[in-house]
């Protein structure tokens, strides 16, 4: 298979991970590898939009509403894709059923009690953490939004490592599973951490906190990945979405705890 260019990978990434209208020229595993490696770029763009909206609302109406606006914009820009995956994975893991039955539960369109509870807690955690950041300053809040969005997309590359199989044939999970080299995942995460460290210069207290939040967020997502691989036999698109939300939430927790 002919290798895909980074431009083709970015189009694949924006076309699958956002509502932004782009022309996806290639839909194959070569393009998927580029897309998942470059996914933090998607997070940077979506995070910037959400950070801008959150900062504007926080400036006019307070940190709590600013946090709600930021989380809402991110959900809208992704059609709630990652949140849906999180709910489905929670239902699958919580069902206690064999892998085949759990995967069937995850594929259903309805949301069960485990999914509802998980969504509620995760959204509350994200909003509470961001409200605290916006209460300090709009700059700190905006950087927290940006860091969480980028960290979420860094986690995707780790979920698509060549050592991680697909749990079932078909779907986005099977398309991207096993496409990313470990060096690509490391490079993408390191580049994201360095970029956030540079942006943290706008708020000196965030210079080290932001890269640390990226590392901790990705680490928590990998713990979920290991659990899902043992439970389901591999990844699905839902697992990747759950990893993204886990990474985002963990990064915000880290920023709040690091003060």
Domain spans in the chain, listed from the N-terminal domain onward: 39-258
For the stretch 219-240, pLDDT in tens is 999 999 999 999 999 999 999 9
Orientation of helix 99-107 relative to helix 209-232, angle to 10°? 120
Classified as helix, coil or strand, 259 is coil
Taking the CB of residue 114, how many other CB atoms lie within 10 A of it? 18
Give 147's Cβ-side CA count (13 Å radius): 38
How sure is the predictor about 16, in pLDDT bands with cuts at 50, 70 and 90? very high
Q: How far apart are CA 67 and CA 201, in angstroms?
A: 22
Q: What is residue 116's predicted lDDT score, i.e. its pLDDT?
A: 96
Identify which of 225, 223, 222, 200 has the alpha carbon closest to the alpha carbon of residue 211: 200
> Contacts from 15-23 at CB under 8 Å and sequence distance 24+?
16/172, 17/42, 17/78, 17/81, 17/153, 17/156, 18/42, 18/45, 18/46, 18/77, 18/78, 19/76, 19/77, 19/78, 19/79, 20/45, 20/77
For the stretch 143-163, pLDDT in tens is 999 999 999 999 999 999 999
For the stretch 109-134, pLDDT in tens is 889 999 999 999 999 999 999 999 99
Q: What is residue 206's predicted lDDT score, i.e. its pLDDT?
A: 64
Rounded average pLDDT over 165-169: 90
């Amino acid at each position: 298979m002919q290798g895909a260019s980074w431009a083709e990978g970015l189009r694949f990434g924006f076309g699958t991970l956002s509502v932004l209208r782009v022309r996806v020229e290639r839909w194959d595993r070569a393009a998927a590898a580029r897309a998942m490696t470059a996914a933090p770029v998607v997070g940077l763009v979506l995070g910037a939009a959400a950070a801008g909206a959150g900062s504007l609302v926080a400036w006019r109406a307070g940190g709590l509403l600013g946090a709600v606006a930021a989380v809402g914009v991110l959900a809208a820009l992704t059609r709630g894709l990652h949140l849906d995956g999180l709910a489905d994975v929670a239902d699958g893991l919580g069902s206690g059923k064999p892998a085949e039955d759990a995967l069937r539960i995850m594929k259903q369109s309805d949301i069960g009690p485990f999914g509802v509870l998980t969504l509620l807690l995760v959204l509350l955690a994200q909003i509470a953490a961001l409200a605290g950041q916006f209460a300090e300053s709009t700059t700190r809040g905006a950087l927290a939004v940006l860091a969480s969005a980028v960290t979420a997309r860094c986690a995707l590359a780790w979920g698509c490592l060549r050592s991680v199989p697909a749990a079932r044939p078909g779907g986005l999970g099977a398309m991207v599973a096993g496409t990313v080299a470990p060096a690509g995942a490391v490079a993408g995460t390191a580049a994201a951490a360095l970029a956030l460290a540079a942006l943290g210069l706008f708020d000196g207290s965030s210079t080290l906190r932001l890269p640390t939040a990226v590392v901790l967020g990705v680490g928590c997502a990998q713990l979920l990945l290991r659990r899902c691989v043992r439970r389901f036999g591999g990844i699905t698109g839902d697992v990747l979405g759950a990893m993204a939300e886990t990474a985002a939430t963990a990064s915000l927790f880290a920023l709040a705890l690091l003060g």
